[in-house]
Structure 1
Amino acid sequence: MDQKIINLYDSYTHSQINRKEFMKKLALLTGSTALALTILPSLESNYAAASTVKDDEVHAEEITFPGVNGQLQGLFAMPKGNKRKLGAVIIIHENRGLTPHIKDVTKRVALAGFVALGVDALSPMGGTPEDENKGREMIGKLDAAQNLGNYLKALEFLRAHPLGNGKTGVVGFCWGGGMANKLAVADPFLNAAVAYYGAQAKTEDVPQIKASLMLHYAGLDERINAGIPAYESALKANKIDYQLYVYDGVNHAFNNDTSPTRYNEAAAKLAWERTINLFKKKLG
């Protein structure tokens, strides 16, 4: 697909333009409104393909746990039949909420041998809606300080969980990747943080990072990649333990296998192997 179309969709999904403007521009790029409507399904997420982990492979259940100002919702998962304490990982969703895709990613983390918790950041607003466009609107209305506090509460919950070994990590995607960087700054007890194509932490906050970082970037993601040089310089200057990978020729959201136009199987597989290896090293 024309990269201009993918870049346009990226602008739309990150609220730089509204849906009406997006459809107008998409029609111009494709040549007609009819063609734009034909292409649209290949750009948007197909959650019918979200499930990759079988029900008998992990134990997964919807739970609630304490947040800053009320209960939070999430998907808790662990390996089926596990009897020992495990490292715990929070999965931080994209800017649409705790979608079927991110729930499946939570199960993938559990399948790899960890206690996993996919937090619904939209819990204070009633939870993630089925309409992902509404979810994006809701994300923009979250109170930033409360949201960060809620994720810190989730980490506290996992550290105290009887099935956890006290070690914690986070992995986030897009909006969640930015949150992973923020949590690395905010939580001195965090052992590992993995950010997929997420906004970087402020360079002046880098000295506060104690966790081991792994940063995955898409080679074609100019918007996010613009922040790499300053961030990496600060990480090096402060002797932070980090790994940074740029996957050439792939788009933002390359890990999302429900987004057929942007998903890249080879890059997703390699990034995932690196992610799980880091968690095994730091949370075991």
Structure 2
Amino acid sequence: MEDKNSLSLEELERDDDEEIVQSQTVPANFEVKIENSVVDVLESKLLVGMVVNSVEDAYLLYCQYAHAKGLSARKGDQRCFSHTSELQSKEFNCSCEGSKDERSSSKKIVVYQKLITRTNCKAKLKITREKGGEWRVSRFVEEHNHEMFPSDQTHLLRSARNISHAKNSTLESMVNAGISVSNVVSFMENEACGPENLGFIRKDTYDHMSRLKKHTKVENGDANALIQYFIDKANKENYFYWNVHLDDDDRVMNFLFRDYRCSVDYEYFGDVLSIDTTYKTNKYNLICAPFVGINHPMQNCAVWFGLYVR
């Protein structure tokens, strides 16, 4: 057997390098062990009897657990204390909870076969509290009846995607500066060292910008025409009242008006009013909000009208 002391310097250095490489070799199941340890820590915080600070904290904790496991979470049923609007219990479910409604889907013409995502999974987290007490975990079901997503796809899960306030400010400022949405997202992905670290996907960005476009301010020409109409009506009718709200750039945002008939109805039937904000216009997405009272024949009578921008 050859003595190590008799080896050449080159051979000794080679042996030392091999020992270092062997000592730095990462086991194949190292990543799995890390994921399992994270899941174990989160599961320990979700055991029955554990205290949570609020409903929001419980949902975030369950989302973290779900993403570590490879699934998506969503909010479920809730219950309030009797005769109050104060929450008594809240549930958070696996996104595969429930099943497809075969009765309604059977009446539709199938254009393409959708992927079945509801497997009637029973996994859930339920928190409850006593009146004025602290929130505690009252039920935690871990078993799932479906396969989990791999770790390299969990960033695509719906509950794992959210555009934070800081990233939203960056997105809107760059788009308003004339940079395309695609280039902005590419820049933010590079800054986050990959799309899996961004926190949302490109579709979320386009949907967000599309919602912003729906809230466009009223154009000057149309706004001036409407204001001129209100002025003419006020000159002809003594009881016609109108008001307008401007934004920080002195652009018209909201309108409020009533005529003579509305003022009379308000005087007689204005004790109890209801407001309905489900009516919208097509161009500016302005919300038409009529203030409605009930007259003696139990019929609706409008006493005010408003046009609002969300």
Range of TM-score over shorter length = under 0.3
User: TM-score normalized by structure 1?
Assistant: 0.23
User: TM-score normalized by structure 2?
Assistant: 0.22
Mark the structure with the bigger radius of gyration: 2
Q: Which has the higher contact order (CA 8 A, sep 6+)?
A: 1
